[in-house]
Amino acid sequence: MNPKELKNRLDARKSGSDDFYLLDVRNPNEQEISTIDGTDLLIPVAELPARIGELDPWKSSGKEVIVYCRSGARSANACGVLKSTGFAKVFNLEGGILLYSDEVDPSLAKY
Active site residues: 69
3-state SS, residue 31: helix
Residues making up the chain, counted from first to last: 111
Rounded distance between C-alpha atoms, residue 33 and residue 53, angstroms: 27
